Amino acid sequence: MKSSTCFVGFLVLAGACDPAGRAPLSIDIEISNAYIVEPALPERTAMYFSVANGGDLDDELLAVATEVATGEIHRTVANGDVMKMERVETARVPAGGELVMRPGSHHVMLLDLSRELRAGDRVNAVLRFKHAGAIEVRAEVVSYADLEAALGADRRDRRR
């Protein structure tokens, strides 16, 4: 399985005029491991991906738009012995860190699907960040059974 990797990097120029002579802050966002689970229900599914921030400025994922559905950022939280999903407005991507969208954690719910999705399909999406702006990504649709293997294989490849 292959996943697309997108990269955006730039300097925050407001810091370039710092009278103290400090270097401007930078943003260095890379998206990888973009997958959508083949829907069990015809109207919704989930999207997972990793966001690496190699810059020295925190960023936030604000929104996700796709060609096939409305995207909402969610997280899974424990409520006593019960796990539940809740919608969140943003997801933080720390400077020098990573936000991993995965089952049981942050993820994007794709609601009101406009067409049927099957394993092997590809879906274009736009991730909108507070500082990095819009980043286009292409996600592969995989069966739920293949999702863990796909995410695990891509994470191993990234560490090389």
d(CA 86, CA 70): 16
The residues, any chain, with a CB within 8 Å of residue 103's CB and separated by 6 or more, are: 46, 48, 76, 147
Q: Which domains does the chain carry?
A: 6-155 (2.60.40.1890)
- On the question of pLDDT at 158 being above 50, the answer is no
Judged by DSSP in three states, 113 sits in coil
Q: Which residue type, as a one-letter code, is found at position 84? A: K
pLDDT in tens, 18-48: 455 566 688 899 999 999 999 998 999 999 9
pLDDT in tens, 67-104: 999 999 999 998 899 999 999 999 999 999 999 999 99
**Residue bearing the bigger pLDDT, 41 or 113:** 113
Residue 133, burial from CB neighbour count under 10 angstroms (0-12, 13-18, 19+):
middle
